[in-house]
Every structure is written in C-alpha cells, then in structure tokens.
Structure 1
C-alpha cells in the first residue's frame, strides 16, 4: 500500500509541476534557492490530525479540524500545485481548506498564497502588517531584506488577527503568536493536537533568523525596532507550551521536518539569540557587508 501511495504521490506532483508553468499565479520565481527550498517530499503525519504537506526547505502544515481544513504557509508561487497534490495524497479535498495561515509577508512563505486561496476558496489569515505585504505582494519599505527585491501574486481575501487571538474551527483552536523581528508582521501559530486522550502542544514558528540584504544594519535607528522584536519573540518561544516544533524553514529546528525533542522551542529561541548576537557583533566590528 505504501508503494502504491508513493507512486500516486509522484504522479500527482509531476502533474502539478507542469501545471504551475501555465498559470500566472504559480509562475515560477527565479529564486536562487528555489530548488533547495522546494525539494519534493511526500506528506507526513506529525501527530493526531496535524500533517506536513510542504518541502525539504519550506514547511507547510495541514490541520484537519473535523469541520474543515487549515493550511499554514504557502511557499513559493510555483509550489501551490504540489501542496494541493500533497493534500489530496492524504485523502483530503483541497476545497475543504477554510483558512490559510501566514507566518510572514515574504515570497518564500507567502508567494503561493494567492493561488492556494483561489483554488480552495479559503481565507488567508495574517497579522495587520503581514496582511499589508500579502495584499501588495511585496516587502514592506522597512523590511531588512527589501533590497533583495522580488514581487509575488497579491492576496485579495484576507482576515487580520491580533496577537493572542484564537481562531476556532471544529475541534481545533489555533492561537496567533506575534513573533516580530525577521519581519515586523511575522506571526507564529500554536494549537493542541490529540490522539485519543493524549494531546501535544504544537508550534508552527515563523523565522527568527536575522538575515538581511547587504548594507542593512540592525545597529542603526531603523534596525532597533527589529532587534527589540527579535528579543520579544525569543522570550515568547521560551515560554510557549511546545511538545512539537515546526519551523518555517525545517533546518532551523534541527534535523528532520519537525522536532519533538524536549525544549525544542527554547532551543529554537537560543539558536536565534546566538545568530542575532553574532550579527550585532559583526556590525560593530565592521565585518558585515
């Protein structure tokens, strides 16, 4: 049965890749790391009715609430057909996706949202700042990565949520967790996944990586709010109930597609602290481009 399922997944994703080239909302972005980020992977159960339907370098999660599906993130524009193929491979109908939650207004996580929303009828959910970027299909004027350039298909149907707001659907309640720093609109998402009487706290974490385009300085006046955002987000990750961590880029969470090691979210925060400290020290020493 596993062999048959794998064969059907390979056929579905191959067809999806071809369809992407003919659709203006899934027109491939010429991004240097696209091949690495979109390494094909079959869908995988995480725990309970929570799954991964993304790729080797970009996480996309799926939650079956019993009253509809929730997707988290949309990867690059050309990834949308493969994401939907993975949803189908799990036995679900993409038309049952009610919400698509966004972690950040960057093309590697939000580029596929417009196509996914169109093809499923789902509403995209984001922070206020995140929604601004997703509508425009472009980075904000204050984004540390702005000089990289790049635009993506804008999202029309959006719902704005605030920090701590709970999105309820079926038997699942998903909490919006503001985690600014990488962008000022970044949002992480947490929920409880259950198998019988056993429940685990799951966190889908936005990126906390202090990467920027050349010439940007976190030690500048413009960079100070982002440093404060990173520090607040690190503290939040320290405090969140977290039995399972899914990070927007899987390699940021350790080995594998997710981490269920004790203290995974605290380790994620500690990694981010180290990267930020290194970056700030490099800027002060003049070794950062």
Structure 2
C-alpha cells in the first residue's frame, strides 16, 4: 500500500487499523534518542513555553485566540509533545499554527502528525515548504546525502521574510535565516510579564555541517556561504532579549533551562546579548571550516 493509502486507513484519529501509525514511525531511533531526554513543560517567560526535550526545543506561544507551536521534533517524539501541551492545561485543538524553523527530520519529522492531531496549519518559508511536501531534502542542502526522509506535510501556509502572523493578541514575525538549510526561518515575538516585556527569538540552526565530501569552499556553493553571512547579519541586528534555538545546547539554552528549574528570578533566559553570541559562535565555526577546506589552518 502506498503512503497515501496508509494515511487514508489511518484517518484523522491517528493509527492505522493494524496499530501502526505511519506518521509516528521512529526515524534514526538510536541516534535521535540522544536529543529526547524528557524535561517538564515549562513557562519560560510571559506567554512563551517549552514543551520539548533536553536536546530538541519545541516552543509554545499562548495567545488570546489559541496556541502557536514552533517545530515538531522527530515523529516518535510527538506523543510526548502532546502530553506536555496537555500537562500545561491546554487542548491540542487549541493549536492553530505550527511554525517550521527548518525542513530536517529532527525538527520537521513530527510536523505531519502534530498537524493531523491538532488540525493546525504548518507555516514555513517557500523553500522549506517544497521540502516539507516531499518529506525529503533537495540536492542543494549541504546535508542532503545523509538525511533520512520524514512524513510529508500536506496543509501548509507559505510566508516570506518579514511576514507577520497574527493570532489573538500576539504577532510573530518571520525572519529568513538560510544557510543550514535554504528554507530556514527564525521567528520573533514580544512577550510580557506584567510591565516587563522581552523580545523573544526562536532561531533556526546556524551550524555549518554537511555530508561527507561536501565543501563549502567549492565555488559552486558560494551562494550557501553567502546565505550564512546574510543570516549572521540578520540575527546580529535583531532585537533579542530571550533566545531559544532549535537545539538548546547550541546557545546555552540547556544550561538556562536547568537554572530556571531552580529559580525564576533573575530569569536565566533573559540575555540581550544572546543572539549576538550565538552568531559569533557559528560564524567562527564557518570561518574555521572554510579555512580547513582551503588548507589554511587558523588558530
């Protein structure tokens, strides 16, 4: 039976009649397990929550008109994400939008199941939407040769750089941040606790990783390097009081989360220099990789 046929048998309720849910089949099970250490669903600041894992962030924004989810982790993580949403007192049907940061299996693998279970629309850049519909990265992705496919996403809304998505009293702005993938998108909104407000950014990955044999220094890949440079400039200039990243350990989010469990004041996530530090870290990594590829070691 084709995937479409299996999905038809599964229906809106989830699992197929034989108990196998094609949208929840594990991807890279042993490898992905290192990202899925459980953590309690937690309010980070104001209307902003994390409902994911120790190694994969999934964010939730509460608005007056429903919920906005950011990212979907891997398919096998979806039941835990949904339990975390419910544990906060919310209903899955309250999720109206699911925002995609990047079309890789570790962040987009669970989108199809989450969209089915919540009825939400997945929102992504045009380049990401093309990958999400296929469930497989294209040849232009530096990691394409080593990436497993993931369940395709059907219900999509495409937004451009600078687009504003409004739900209730909250506006989320899309910021194109390509490089790690051509379709990477970061998302920014304003969150308040009483009189204190903060600019929150959920940033896509900036890591210049690639499949074996791929060289960023190849002239044919100059556009990818230029995309990284543009993204560095974008994130460096953005208002950014609280930074959440797709992989929390890439920005110190894992450390901040652990501290938040001990005390909320002062809030360890509040750091107006976080986005700039995030950029510096990966700009150096890209420069180091380019130098190594060109045979010019750098200190």
Same fold (TM > 0.5): yes
Once residues 286 and 274 of structure 1 are traced to their aligned partners in structure 2, the CA distance between those partners, rounded to angstroms, is: 14
For structure 2, list consecutive stretches of 5 or more residues without a partner in the other structure.
Answer: 1-18, 258-267
Retained in 1: the 8 A contact 2:105–2:147?
A: no
Once residues 127 and 76 of structure 2 are traced to their aligned partners in structure 1, the CA distance between those partners, rounded to angstroms, is: 24
Q: How does 1:195-274 map to 2 (within 5 A)?
A: 195-254=193-252, 255-257=255-257, 259-274=269-284
Deviation sequence 1:137-187 (CA, Å, 0-9, x none): 001121100110310100000000000000000010000000000001000
Q: 1:276 aligns with which of 278, 283, 286?
A: 286
Deviation sequence 1:230-276 (CA, Å, 0-9, x none): 11111111111011000000001113348422300000010111110
Q: 2:96 aligns with which of 86, 95, 98?
A: 98
The TM-score with structure 1 as length reference comes to 0.90
Equivalence for 1:183: 181
The TM-score with structure 2 as length reference comes to 0.87
Deviation sequence 1:199-251 (CA, Å, 0-9, x none): 10000000000000110011113321111111111111111101100000000
Q: Which portions of structure 1, spanning 4 or more consecutive aligned residues, are displaced by more than 4 angstroms?
A: none
Equivalence for 1:115: 113
Three-state SS of the structure 2 residue aligned to 1:256 is: helix
Once residues 256 and 282 of structure 1 are traced to their aligned partners in structure 2, the CA distance between those partners, rounded to angstroms, is: 32
Retained in 1: the 8 A contact 2:44–2:269?
A: no
Once residues 213 and 296 of structure 2 are traced to their aligned partners in structure 1, the CA distance between those partners, rounded to angstroms, is: 11
Three-state SS of the structure 1 residue aligned to 2:289 is: helix
Give the 3 Å change call, closer, same or farther, for CA 32–214 of structure 1 in structure 2: farther
Retained in 2: the 8 A contact 1:237–1:266?
A: yes
Quote how far apart the aligned CAs of 1:286 are: 8.3
Once residues 223 and 77 of structure 1 are traced to their aligned partners in structure 2, the CA distance between those partners, rounded to angstroms, is: 31
For structure 1, list consecutive stretches of 5 or more residues without a partner in the other structure.
Answer: 1-20
